[in-house]
Structure 1
């Protein structure tokens, strides 16, 4: 049986509400807004309430608001429609994602109104963010994983730009994981790795990234305008925090960690592989020096060992 226009509209409205979709328009001469129920629901406003464009625009996050206004201006000026995903807060303060589409209607060659659709895509965004977390996080420690670290490492300029005096790339290695696994079991070893991760995050909370990059290895990028002594002090304090015993059942496990680091100077486009090799070289020296210590690439002890290695009398890995 064919549907009447009223029945078809009712079914369409029901489907749109179920999908979190609503229609909107704005009359350009007056900035008067008109919304369907779905848009009211999306923003958490009472259906049919009076709308004021400045108040509704305030519900956008700053970055989304700026992008929306830019695209809106382009739409009015050129007629080029757009679609974007925007972060908003409802009137009650709930965080949501919205997919906004817009086009323009002209009369006698002049834009008179813009209109389109708004859809709640919070569930979709949460799903993709969850998948991204799975792809870029370490399941044991909750830190970023090696893939995420390498992505961050690939753009070192971002962490050593003009606004940052110095940066440091460091590799941290748990010194005695195998003996811990052999004596206490792998569950104890896993707990030591989790504790090490938590201590790194706590002591270096302003790091650009702290990641688990291998079985017992962690990588981090730290930046500060306070200079080299401050950066090394922060790493030294972290290294001391990592050496605290880890409670395990009715005993405690003695742990320690070695750190190798290299300085990232500002204003330079660093070679990520070379800088990582420098930090790895410094870590090797820390291990050879008896472990449970911090070594910086380029320090005199390393220069001497590098010379020995170049002469074939040492075993230091220098790239």
Structure 2
């Protein structure tokens, strides 16, 4: 057994393999471990376009962007990507890539691909636990902060508007009925938000009695304003607690992502927060940032 055969067999055991792509012809070369990772037969002809189609849309966009940059600069990149194999099984892979150049031009892209599905699943479960508000069942401030700090998640095209909710007179409710009653109201309000906005990209409790709802794009401003206004009524109805109806009222601030500029999550949050502040001083208690 030669060195290459030994490497290929050992890499296959570790669910990894080597690959290369001739950039002029786009011809792919894989070791057996990569075929196994993608659920393909080693006899199957490799066409890059059909392989790229196995990547999820978001992973495919990231791959093409990083690949193009590496080719242009003669550099390297790494990427954790999501694929769906021909048998329907979803996997996560880690790609490490580098370029080989001659004459000042990148000629070959090559590297390693490794199956990281189990590690990714464990990590996502831990992150979900760390980013979940245990009282309300929605995301916590850390989860919302990740949106503020990483605008690519969700992607810009997915974000249409941000709604901020503030429960009015919540301190008085706690003082009058007790903190257990306050917790019951928060839990019920979190559930109501999930029911009222099933299409939301993200629902988070971002403060003691303040919540954020991130809506997807695709609807007009007018339609979104009308739908939000109609759903507020169900959020404000009293909550039954130990045989008593506890009053719930909220102020609401709504801000939209501008179609003319790139998404800036922090500016979007500031706009919604201004609308919320104005709403708390307004009898309608629902204002849209102009």
TM-score for both structures, normalised by structure 1 = 0.64
Matched, 1:196 2:189: yes
Counterpart selection for 1:240 from 229, 234, 241: 234
Tell me, yes or no, if the aligned pair for 2:163 and 2:272 is still in contact at 8 Å. no
Tell me, yes or no, if the aligned pair for 1:97 and 1:125 is still in contact at 8 Å. yes
Q: Which residue of 1 aligns with 2:248?
A: 257
Tell me, yes or no, if the aligned pair for 1:60 and 1:89 is still in contact at 8 Å. yes
Deviations 1:144-181 (A, max 9, x none): 1133345656899xxxx9x9998653323596566666
Q: Which residue of 1 aligns with 2:12?
A: 17
TM-score for both structures, normalised by structure 2 = 0.69
Counterpart selection for 1:205 from 180, 198, 203: 198
**Shift of residue 35 of structure 1?**
1.5
Q: Which residue of 1 aligns with 2:165?
A: 170
Q: Which residue of 2 aligns with 1:295?
A: 285
Cα distance between partner residues in 2 of 1:266 and 1:89: 32
**Shift of residue 139 of structure 1?**
1.8
Cα distance between partner residues in 2 of 1:109 and 1:217: 56
Q: Which residue of 2 aligns with 1:121?
A: 116
Q: In the superposition, relative to structure 1, how do residues 261 and 134 fare at CA in structure 2: closer, same or farther (>3 Å)?
A: same
Q: In the superposition, relative to structure 1, how do residues 241 and 123 fare at CA in structure 2: closer, same or farther (>3 Å)?
A: same
Cα distance between partner residues in 1 of 2:102 and 2:270: 59
Matched, 1:39 2:29: no
Structure 1 segment 78-157 matched on structure 2, within 5 A: 78-105=73-100, 113-149=108-144, 152=147
**Shift of residue 62 of structure 1?**
2.6
Q: In the superposition, relative to structure 1, how do residues 61 and 280 fare at CA in structure 2: closer, same or farther (>3 Å)?
A: same
Q: SS state of the match for residue 197, structure 1?
A: helix
RMSD: 4.5
- Structure 1 unpaired stretches of 5+: 287-293, 299-319
Deviations 1:201-252 (A, max 9, x none): 221234454322345543445686343x963662453333552655x8xx86
Q: In the superposition, relative to structure 1, how do residues 256 and 232 fare at CA in structure 2: closer, same or farther (>3 Å)?
A: farther
Cα distance between partner residues in 1 of 2:148 and 2:77: 34
- Structure 2 unpaired stretches of 5+: none
Cα distance between partner residues in 2 of 1:218 and 1:28: 49
Moved more, 83-92 or 26-35: 26-35
Q: In the superposition, relative to structure 1, how do residues 170 and 276 fare at CA in structure 2: closer, same or farther (>3 Å)?
A: same
Q: Which residue of 2 aligns with 1:312?
A: none
Moved more, 96-105 or 169-178: 169-178
Cα distance between partner residues in 2 of 1:297 and 1:65: 39
Q: In the superposition, relative to structure 1, how do residues 262 and 103 fare at CA in structure 2: closer, same or farther (>3 Å)?
A: closer
Give the greater-gyration-radius structure (CA): 1
Q: SS state of the match for residue 62, structure 2?
A: helix
Tell me, yes or no, if the aligned pair for 2:236 and 2:250 is still in contact at 8 Å. no
**Shift of residue 91 of structure 1?**
1.4
**Shift of residue 109 of structure 1?**
7.2
Cα distance between partner residues in 1 of 2:3 and 2:227: 72
